[in-house]
């Protein structure tokens, strides 16, 4: 499997969680009871799966390899992707901050979570679209077979050392559980 193919698969999982967050936001805005534990699980998924795992592979490995073959970082597509990752982290921090208030049935906290979740979803959906359609095809075309092989090895290391074995299966079970609880 090409390294970008692995990343594309991860995008699909992130988009599934974005759809769940959107349903959670609908519930929070309608004043419905959304289990704070589910909100915590969703935030944990985004932090570990999207940010620590997926963005670590891009920031620590894919983007530097692309720079090596002449794709510019500053004022180029990589710079834009990096600043969008940063912006995404701010939305996630806002979601996490709102959860204690939601536990106390605070309406303003519910609204804050919902708007941060929608902001995150809008940002990441277009970010993923740009990576799938522009950045990854650029990587496929420019990176040498050796670079691609070593990237795949680096990705395996991230899985083992940063995310931890078994965590991916756990996250897939979480997606399935939350999709049932918050159907489209
Ligand atoms: Fe990205
Ligand atoms: Fe990505």
Are 124 and 18 a contacting pair, CB within 8 Å? yes
Question: In which band, very low, low, confident or very high, does the pLDDT at 46 lie, cut at 50, 70 and 90?
Answer: very high
* Cα–ligand 1 centroid distance for 141 (angstroms): 18
Least confident of 9-23, 88-102, 157-171: 157-171
**Which residues are placed with Cβ below 5 angstroms of ligand 2, an ion?**
131
- What percent of the chain clears pLDDT 90, i.e. is strictly above it? 89
* Cα–ligand 1 centroid distance for 155 (angstroms): 14
Q: What is the DSSP string of 136-166?
A: HHHHHHHS-HHHHHHHHHHHHHIIIIII-TT
What is the average pLDDT across 20-26? 98
* Cα–ligand 1 centroid distance for 172 (angstroms): 20
From CA 25, how far away is CA 163, in angstroms rounded? 27
The mean pLDDT of the chain is: 95
From CA 27, how far away is CA 7, in angstroms rounded? 30
Question: In which band, very low, low, confident or very high, does the pLDDT at 72 lie, cut at 50, 70 and 90?
Answer: confident
From CA 8, how far away is CA 43, in angstroms rounded? 21
Contacting residues for 128 by C-beta, under 8 A, at least 6 apart: 11, 14, 15
pLDDT digits (tens, 9 = 90+) for 103-138: 999 999 999 999 999 999 999 999 999 999 999 999
* Cα–ligand 2 centroid distance for 42 (angstroms): 18
Question: In which band, very low, low, confident or very high, does the pLDDT at 159 lie, cut at 50, 70 and 90?
Answer: confident
Q: How much is the pLDDT for 166?
A: 82
* Cα–ligand 2 centroid distance for 6 (angstroms): 10
* Cα–ligand 2 centroid distance for 161 (angstroms): 20
Q: Which ligand is nearest to the CA of 88?
A: 1
* Cα–ligand 1 centroid distance for 6 (angstroms): 13
């932090």: which residue's tokens? Answer: 47
């Amino acid at each position: 499997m090409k390294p970008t193919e692995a990343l594309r698969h991860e995008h699909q999982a992130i988009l599934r969680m974005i759809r769940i967050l959107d349903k959670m936001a609908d519930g929070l805005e309608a004043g419905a009871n959304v289990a704070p534990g589910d909100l915590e699980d969703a935030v944990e998924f985004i932090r570990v799966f999207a940010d620590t795992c997926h963005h670590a592979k891009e920031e620590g490995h894919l983007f530097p390899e692309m720079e090596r073959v002449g794709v510019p970082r500053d004022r180029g597509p990589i710079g834009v992707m990096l600043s969008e990752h940063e912006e995404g982290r701010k939305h996630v921090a806002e979601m996490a901050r709102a959860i204690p208030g939601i536990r106390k049935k605070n309406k303003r906290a519910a609204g804050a979570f919902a708007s941060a979740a929608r902001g995150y979803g809008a940002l990441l959906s277009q970010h993923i679209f740009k990576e799938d359609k522009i950045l990854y095809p650029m990587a496929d075309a420019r990176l040498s077979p050796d670079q691609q092989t070593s990237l795949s090895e680096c990705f395996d290391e991230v899985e083992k050392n940063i995310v931890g074995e078994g965590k991916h299966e756990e996250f897939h079970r979480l997606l399935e559980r939350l999709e049932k609880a918050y159907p489209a």
